Structure 1
Amino acid sequence: MPDIKSVSFDTSKWEPIEQLDERILWKNDTADRLSLHFFPITPDLPVNLTAITELRNFYRQNVIQVGGGLVSVDVLSVKGMSAIKTLFKFSMKSTGMRYIGSLTFPFASFSYAIKVDCPEYGMTGIRDTLVYTHVMKEIDPDDPYKGWFQDPYDRTRKDAMMRNQSEDESYDNQFTDHPLSRARRYLAEIEKSLEFTNEVLQAAPFHAP
């Protein structure tokens, strides 16, 4: 059975703060957190990774139940391994947003999850405000946010917390310090440096029950 040491990636910009058999936690100088999780059990995913719509519905429902919102869910190949890439958003207790991004690698009898947790700090809401004033040219006085909040995969949804137009990846380069930009950047860096042992590479792939 592979273990938590069977996965590695570049952590040179991170300081380790906890190491357990099934979790390693790091931090950096911007209050962000990085973690690697190993789950030695069959993943609880209800569908195969090829059923992307059902998979997105599954993650959307899970994050809504804990008070968050869906930014994106995608399936991709990282170093030849199938992965689920997710980005969620949560309101912070004081002000601002927290973004949690993950790369999940499910196998038949175990899985790995690499997570980044990025809170908003300093003056919050700048990205939202600047993009809003740029893209919302015709504002409905009866509904000034009409078209601003949209589920990325189902425009008919009206959830309590939803992705807004400023959270599109095309704006990341303009707001490099924003927590969502940081989360996407960290995940991209991890994807490039990620390595698996042969034991993981040869493991049986995940198949939904």
Structure 2
Amino acid sequence: MPISFDTSGLQQQDANRWVNPATRDMVSVQYFDLAPDLPAALEDLDTLRQRLAQHRADTGCLIEAFVVGVDGQPALLRMEKMPLPDQPTGLIFAASLVVPKQQCSATLTLLCPEAGPTGMREAMLAAQIGFQNMYPPHPYAPGLQGKLPYNAADDIRWDAQFPEHPLTRARQWIARTVPGMRLDPGFAALPPFRG
């Protein structure tokens, strides 16, 4: 695999998947031997964000997207939410990191599902900031109406108030893991993605 990372606290399920036994959070690494399907170049972040938000609207919601460095290479970091599959309520929060190259890409995806009572972060914040303030326009596509709305509770400023929430866990794990991630030198040397 082109990406390696610290797997401390995770149980390996197979060659490309790990699970945190305490939270059921799952990490996977994949390599795709085809040109990345990103809708814009990493250098055109505004367009990339808008198109990613529109694309994700059919199945969930793009919360945020950034270009970050992974072992000296540019990568796209996305935070998204989707309904839990086969469940009447609840969400799964995903942090995905794509290191795109001209003709291939490597990805690391962290999936953090809600467990127990769902919607507590949203309910507590609605009481705190007012329900009328819970659904601002999407920051990347203001008129967007998708399967899941952009929610004020998705904002990173609330993470400290909800340290066990799956969105908080996803952000914290990515923040701890990305600085130590390494890329295979052969993969890192491939021609860069231009969009």
Q: TM-score, normalised to structure 2's length?
A: 0.90
Q: Answer yes or no: is 1:82 the counterpart of 2:69.
A: no
In 2, the alpha carbon distance for the partners of 1:25 and 1:123 equals 27
2:2 corresponds to 1:26: no
Question: Residues 35 and 115 of structure 1 are in contact (CA less than 8 Å); yes or no, is this contact kept in structure 2?
Answer: yes
**Residue 120 of structure 2 corresponds to which residue in structure 1?**
126
Name 2:34's counterpart in structure 1.
41
CA positional deviation for 1:38 = 0.6
Aligned-residue identity in percent: 29
In structure 2, distance between residues paired with 1:18 and 1:8: 14
- Post-superposition CA distance 1:73-129 (Å, at most 9, x none): 112223311111111111222322111110100011211110011110012211111
User: Alignment partner of 1:204: what SS?
Assistant: coil
Instruction: State the TM-score, normalized to the length of structure 1.
Output: 0.85
CA distance in 2, matches of 1:147, 1:116: 26
Distance 2:153 2:166 in 1: 12
Q: Is the 8 A contact 2:57 2:145 kept in 1?
A: no
Query: 2:184 & 2:102 partners in 1: Cα distance?
Result: 16
Structure 1 residues 166-199: Cα deviation after superposition (integer angstroms, max 9, x where no partner): 1111111111110101111121122021012322
> Higher Cα Rg: structure 1 or 2?
1
Deviates more, 1:83-92 or 1:71-80: 71-80
> Where in structure 2 are there 5+ consecutive unaligned residues?
none
Q: Is the 8 A contact 2:36 2:104 kept in 1?
A: yes
Cross-structure match for 1:17: 13
The number of residue pairs the alignment matches comes to 192
Gap runs ≥5 in structure 1: 137-143
